[in-house]
Chain A
Amino acid sequence: MWLLPSSIIVFTIVLAIPMSRYMAKIMDGRYRPPRVFQWCERHLDSGQQNWKQYTLALLVFNTLMFVFGYTVLALQPWMPLNPRGLGMLAPSTIFNSVISFMTNTNLQHYSGEVNLSNFSQIFFVIFNQFVSAAVGMCALAAIIRAFRGESTVGNYFVDMWRAVAYIFLPIAVILGVLFLWQGMPMTINHSVDQVMTLEPGAMGATDTGQPKPQTLVVGPVAAEVPIMMLGTNGGGFYGMNEAHPFANPSALSNFLVMFGMMFFPFALVLMYGRMLGRVRHAIVIFSVMLLLFAGTIVWAIHFDTMKPNPGLTAHPEARAFKIAVPTAPGGTQTITLPAVAGLPVDQHLGNLEGKELRFGTSAGATFAAATVDVTCGAVNCEHDSLNPIAALSPMAGMWLNCIYGGKGVGMINLLLFLIIGVFLAGQMVGRTPEYLGKKIGAREMKLAMIALLVHPIMILGPSGLFAATNWGMKAENNPAAHGLSEIVYQFSSASANNGSAFDGLGVSYGFNNNPNPAPEAVPWDLATGLVMLFSRYLPIIAPIAMAAFLGMKKSTPFGLGTLRDDTFTFGCLLFGTIVIVGALLFLPVAALGPLAEHLGPIPFGG
């Protein structure tokens, strides 16, 4: 039970330490690549950039990514590698998907094996998964250089190339081979059609009365899964993502997939320390993240793997509640929840609804917690069917959005909490707050707050709007509190650039000519698309600006009154800031969603 998460964490940390050294070497330009790559670097280099030029280059390139992505998806019917003749997605869904993959979110309002050809999988999905992951990493590199007080923060195009070609690519090939060995398909065919099952006819009959074969969708899965995990993208080849046996064939592949998504987020924190020359400080940050990481995993396992699904168990106590009558002021009425007898189901393996068996007992809960902490968004079980209170763990991971977090941006988010923590501490002792020897002024605090507040506003605002209107109510697939959870989860996932979902929510339009799309698919496409856009770029641009302004200031020498940032006390300060500032914002909605469902009548509705 506990061996699975702990062994993955230890394995990842052990490999992340040398990786961080290698990454620091690459991002500092101390690595000499083979000659052909040097040629690429020379031609990409447009000279050293200051923070504004660097940000502009980032935005220009991301705009181009949007155009390219939209074109690839819109032209799907006319592109090669489409033997099943798949049509074009609805325009709103293309808009959503392109932003989703460009922003490293990989929220999917379509189903991979149903809606995308192999061409789109390679030229849209795989392309974005490599490149969008590098964007966040470059942003972090720019911030580090700004913190170091350098007036120029590097060259964006060279940084991108280094991240993609020297960091992601080699590791992706190694993982790809391991995944092939474990059973993932890797073929240009799109389906295996003529497979009659062991019991012909059990799949039903075709229109002509013949026994129906089982159509198996295959494709370049072993190429897509490595970068989808390494880039903390999470947008799967198949609709059910890493729960699908082709995308995750064994316990070992599940282990490696989890390692893949945690590897770079772990290594980036250490890289931050190495590049700043403050490894002890990075270790303090790493430890705070690790504590939160372990906390979310323990919470999920405790409430999902070690507890049965409450929908099937007995609730032997009848309960009565007095509530106010809305129509008669002052009047009360009593609501009685009768006792419920349990169904005879052996649940010693925990809640198995939506879980696969081959990964191991606690694998679903572990994955659910880890995937949101590192903002990957791949899933190996159905989050909608997690036990109500266990689902709080993935939601909290997205709300905090800095427990390692995505490529670079997680670390950036943590820096925001850190700056605020330092600021609060400075206020408490009545000293000008400073970080890395630089005094934090009003301008830096404003930028930090802008970046930090985007997240709750982008989650709670649209959630409230959708929950109150048909947009949300017609999309819910589960009653009462859980329906609200579905809405909140979707916007949390969009805003955290995570990409996992409570799959019950009806947000899929499908192909453009689909006669029966989900009724509110278009508003969902547009709203989550915009949320992803704002929640991606504002928290990248504002911190780069903040770091640049901070870096330009004169360093104050280290003195007796300096707040030391590499101590246990500092770790506690950081932990407290994250929990108090980050979590309190979302406590009310947590009470209305998962907590209410946990405490309320189960089963409900139907």
Chain B
Amino acid sequence: MRTYVSKSILLLSLSVLVCCLIYPLAVWAIGQTFFPFTANGSIVAGPDGKPVGSILIAQPLTKDEYFWPRPSAASYDASASSSSALAASNYLLRNRVATMIGPIVKYGSGSKAGQLVAPDIEVWFQKDQYHGQPHVVAQWADAHNELAQAWVSADPAHAQYVNEWAQTHQGMVAEWIKQNPATLHPQAADLAVLFFENFSKDNPGRFPSEVLKATPDGKTQTVIESAANGTDIQATFFDMWRQDHPDAPLAAVPGDMVTTSGSGLDPDITLENAEYQLDRVASKWAADLKRDPAQVRSEINQMIKADAYAPMGGLFGEKIVNVLQVNLTLRKRYGVPPA
């Protein structure tokens, strides 16, 4: 037995020496000598020579002048990769995709081909009828309690709005507590469904939305107001609009544009996705540079075609575009987009 312990200790020591010292040091030396670029994270520099990120890691972009990466379940935090882990059957997945699509989706054919669907969603919403029943917002909150609660928890301003409502509707809150004796002191999120039901009846065709307001000292401030249009409504109620208009001919958006990747840091988008974004990017640059939109569009189109590559030279898949790469090309060609 004692032999086994001493031999075990020797085996452990030798393994540590070989596996934890010699082996990593060897790979490290090879990496730092022959592959210094990749061994240190594939960091690329912008036109000004300063590092702007790793060519392998997606980074967030919001300006219309840039191509945007896929949505990220990790908020593009490269120190905490994450996937959505949403099952196909989970309504939260469908809801996330629908809220992304609502404000941008267009008609694909028919008399309105090429036009945004968003205005029609607002018109439908203001009529306040879903599946022939009144009160869209109340129906939404009833069907999706989790989403109603998530709306309240999403922002302290939302919770405050609900709390203020609760102050003026104490009778309703007391009734709710009677029915839910387990929750004697309900938080704002607990009251979410009740709030939306009541809000929907008091404000048919409206939804509490974030509105930018000027304050007396000249700054802008986001406040919650009941609104009849806006991106909140286009996003939140697109799926319900769709259920009322199942046959409306909509143009499909590229799948990778609305799905999160496994790591949340996927640096690529499909070529179709880039082409889908091309109109937005090109028209914005044309406006910035005061140039002919058609010409700018064809220049950028050539850029994404030139940057596109397929996995293993096309053996294993369709063409994709590295987002940082193509945005750097844009920067080099057209300069810094105006703030």
Contacts and interface: CB of A to CB of B under 8 A. Distances in A.
A associates with B? yes
Interface of A: 3-4, 7, 40, 43-44, 46, 56-57, 60-61, 64-65, 68, 111, 113-114, 122-123, 126-127, 130-131, 157, 160-161, 164-165, 169, 172-173, 176-177, 180-189, 191-192, 194-199, 202-203, 214-218, 220, 222-223, 227, 238-240, 243-246, 249-252, 255, 308-312, 314, 316, 339-349, 351-364, 379-382, 384-388, 477-482, 485, 502-504, 597, 600-606
B60 interface: yes
11 contacts: A61-B4, A126-B23, A199-B59, A215-B79, A246-B57, A345-B101, A347-B255, A348-B255, A355-B262, A357-B270, A600-B89
Contacts of B46: 198
A341 B77 CA distance: 34
Contact of A3 (B11, B82, B260, B316): B316
Nearest to A121: B24
Nearest to B21: A122
Contacts of B222: none
Contacts of A126: 19-20, 23-24
Interface in B63-110: 63, 66, 70, 76-95, 97-98, 101, 105, 108
B214 interface: no
Given A46-B7, A198-B59, A202-B59, A479 B89 contact: yes
Contact of B56 (A65, A240, A246, A478): A246
A255 B312 CA distance: 9
A111 to B, nearest CB: 7
B27 A186 contact: yes
Contact of A481 (B16, B54, B89): B89
Contacts of B266: 245, 356-358
Given A384-B86, A385-B88, A61 B12 contact: yes
A387 B32 CA distance: 42
B242 A343 contact: yes
Interface in B237-274: 239, 242-243, 245-246, 250-256, 258-270, 272
Interface of B is mostly: mixed
A58 B130 CA distance: 68
Contact of A312 (B41, B81, B94): B94
A309 B256 CA distance: 12
Contacts of A187: 28, 31-32, 39-41
Interface in B201-225: none
Contacts of B317: 251, 357, 359-361, 363
B144 A606 contact: yes
A252 B38 CA distance: 15
A397 B24 CA distance: 33
Contacts of B59: 197-199, 202-203, 214
Nearest to A478: B87
A343 B28 contact: no
Interface stretch (B171-179, B182-190, B226-234, B320-328): B320-328
A332 B239 CA distance: 32
Given A223-B28, A245-B267, A600-B89, A198 B94 contact: no
B80 A343 contact: no
Interface string B1-36: 101110111111011101110011011101110110
B242 A346 contact: no
B14 A382 contact: no
Of A40, A177, A182, A192, most buried by chain B (CB within 10 Å of CB) is A192
A343 B94 contact: yes
Given A157-B10, A173-B23, A251-B317, 14 more contacts: A181-B35, A199-B60, A216-B41, A222-B31, A240-B82, A245-B56, A251-B312, A308-B255, A354-B83, A356-B266, A357-B320, A482-B89, A603-B89, A606-B144
Given A40-B14, A185-B40, A111 B80 contact: yes
A121 B338 CA distance: 44
B91 A606 contact: yes
B167 interface: no
Given A220-B28, A252-B312, A360-B316, A238 B263 contact: yes
